[in-house]
Amino acid sequence: MSTSGSENHTNYLNDGYGVKSWLLTTDHKRIAILYMISITLFFMIGGFFALVIRLTLLSPNGTLVSADTYNKMFTMHGVTMIFFFLIPSIPAVLGNFLVPMMIGARDLAFPKLNLLSWYIYVLGGIFTLSAMVLGGVDTGWTFYTPLSSGYSHTNVVPTVIGVFIVGFSSILTGLNFIVTIHKMRAPGLTWFRLPLFIWAHYATSVIQVLGTPVIAVTLALVGFERITGVGIFDPNIGGDPILFQHLFWFYSHPAVYIMVLPSMGIVSEVVTCFSQRKLFGYRQMAFASMAIAVFGFLVWGHHMFVSGQSVYAGMAFSALSFLVAIPSAVKVFNWTATLYKGTIRFNTPMLYAFGFIGLFTIGGLTGIVLATLPVDVHVHDTYFVIAHFHYIMVGGAVMGYMAGLHFWWPKITGKLYPEGLAKFSALTLFVGFNLTFFPQFILGYLGMPRRYHIYPPEFQVLNVLSTAGASILGLGYIIPFFYFMWSLRKGKVAGNNPWNAKGLEWLTTSPPPTFNFDKTPVVTEEAYAYPEEDLVGG
Amino acid sequence: MTGHTISRNRYFLIFAALIVLLVLTIFMAYVDLGPFNVIVAITIAIIKATLVILYFMHVRYSSRVTWVFVSAGFFWLLIMFTLTMSDIATRFTF
């Protein structure tokens, strides 16, 4: 196995320089970079919509944009961030880059399908961006019927086609991971020696493969009803609008776990490395990932307590929703227990991982609040819900993505970023995030509804705080963008394993060679085999 | 995949069975069985789908892992139907 730390070795970055060598590549690492650039672009677009939302809410009178434009802003913010940033973020970027390397494979099982998935993503993105340029869409990211299927006069069909298309990219990524993890593990790498990042991606892939077709069919039915007038969801022509919500949330609730499970995988890698400890309760963590993937499909009705859904179904969904808390809590407790007696280093990835654990816990616990039927009736469609899911999706999923990006950046690029600035940026992001979203819990509890561009004047102080927080949060995202770019040219050479981490990906060079390993590695130890001190009597 | 090949005759046999079941579906649509019409139609549809999955999609000759994933697909479908029906079948008040 090659151990050279030189940046001049042949690697996936210098193995061909032309545009064609990138656009026709089947190398999972290059495809990961293509995805990274694409999702960053969509993150900026989605961030712009968020900026307009927060600036509008600075004033109770909604002076910046009209009510109609505001409706479009929050819709396009949601559509962009969920379907074009969060869902592909970790699996398509870090998963693509790392899954084959972590299991000692040369590439994914279907490299051409992998490239196809990126092209499908781009095609879906073009449709959705076109809809935005043509005047936008105002249905909310949930596309609820009958608004979306009959009443909205905005660009619903091209947006829905875009989301429909991008779903196939997600399915192909999931399919590729499942087959790769089953079939291409290095000799000695048994299921219970796999890093938890791999378990997390396996669980995520199961959701992608089994859930995404349902949203695709559902959105196709919305388009079909709009175009043909055949009653499926519109009650005027014999349809059932609540059926749409069932089908939509059957996918879209588990989609939350598509976003957050991979982050959990990253946190497991980071926490073990920066405490130099074996993970506490490895098997429970692996099973917890799978349990989250399965339980996630049993709880969707908690989004529909006030929709007109039967109250008996509501009670069942409320009770089932509490189940998800069990594996989630197992994870939080096990990460915390892993730190016990560890040699903890507060490097940037670890700061983000700590951020994840704390913010995900708040997001998860407020999820329990919302899953409690009578409480949800009170706070449904208020800012409490907005705060809750941003704690999961930004505080959880994006924090995890940032942790992973910082953790593996030296492997991906062969360069180190400026650690001091990165720590400052992580703290800025943490402070900005909480200042943005914590006031929204209070606003929601006090009764401020979501999706309105005006609000009573007594809510202004908390809204101003939230917008101020969003500015700090924005800074927390912009700083890493610049130092990452800077590091590509000026960063110190990273070496193969700058964090002293365990895992096959750290055995090869940075950046890795095109086929990852000069010789297929043979695995002889458990995951996270960090040297242990005797804890007895400690 | 185990590399098992299915003979051309077997394909034609399955195809013929599907056509027979299709004719049966159309025929049964004209026989008034009350609420049982739906049950009969769904039963025939399940048989047809099973034949396609087992033979045309080669699942019958595939590995156990493939069987697990095919079963998982149907298990998930069952979850979707059951929990959706938990709402639709109980929308009443005492």
Angle at A510 between CA A506 and CA A512, to 5 degrees: 85
On whether the CB atoms of residues A328 and A296 are closer than 8 A, the answer is no
Return the pLDDT at A229. 87
Return the pLDDT at A208. 96
Return the pLDDT at A101. 97
- A111 min Cα distance to partner chain B (Å): 19
Return the pLDDT at A427. 98
H helices present in A57-155, as ranges: 67-79, 87-88, 96-102, 111-133
Return the pLDDT at A402. 98
**pLDDT-based confidence at B94, cuts 50/70/90?**
low
Nearest-Cα residue of chain A relative to residue B82: A298
Instruction: Quick: pLDDT tens for A104-153.
Output: 999 999 999 999 999 999 999 999 999 999 999 999 999 998 888 878 89
Nearest-Cα residue of chain A relative to residue B88: A310
Return the pLDDT at A56. 97
Return the pLDDT at B3. 59
Q: Which two tokens stand for residue A166?
A: 């991008």
Q: Is residue B33 helix, strand or coil?
A: coil
pTM for the complete prediction?
Answer: 0.93
Would the CB atoms of A316 and B86 count as touching at under 8 Å?
yes
Return the pLDDT at A533. 62
Q: Which domains does chain A have, with CATH numbers?
A: 19-506 (1.20.210.10)
Question: What is the C-alpha separation between A499 and A276, in angstroms, rounded?
Answer: 10
Return the pLDDT at A536. 47
Which residues of chain A fall below pLDDT 50? 1-6, 536-538
- For residue A298, list chain B residues with Cβ-Cβ distance below 8 A: 79, 83
Q: Which of A210, A297, A309 sits opposite B87 (nearest CB)?
A: A309
Beta bridge mates, A449: A382
- A279 min Cα distance to partner chain B (Å): 29
Integer angstrom CA distances of residue A509 from A8, A144, A349, A514, A515 = 11, 49, 20, 11, 11
Q: Which of B65, B73, B83 sits opposite A301 (nearest CB)?
A: B83
Q: Which two tokens stand for residue A440?
A: 């929204």
Instruction: Quick: pLDDT tens for A500-538.
Output: 999 999 999 999 999 999 899 999 999 999 987 655 443
Integer angstrom CA distances of residue A153 from A79, A135, A245 = 17, 10, 20
Q: Which two tokens stand for residue A13?
A: 């970055």
Nearest-Cα residue of chain A relative to residue B91: A310
Question: What is the C-alpha separation between A91 and A101, in angstroms, rounded?
Answer: 14
Taking the CA of residue A534 as centre, how many other CA atoms within 13 Å lie in the half-sphere pointing to its CB? 2
Return the pLDDT at A8. 63
Angle at A479 between CA A477 and CA A480, to 5 degrees: 75
Q: Which of B68, B69, B77, B83 to mutate to test the interface with A (most CBs of A within 10 A)?
A: B83
pLDDT at B1 over 80: no
> Which chain B residues have any C-beta within 8 angstroms of a chain A C-beta?
65, 69, 72-73, 76, 79-80, 83-84, 86-92
Return the pLDDT at A2. 40
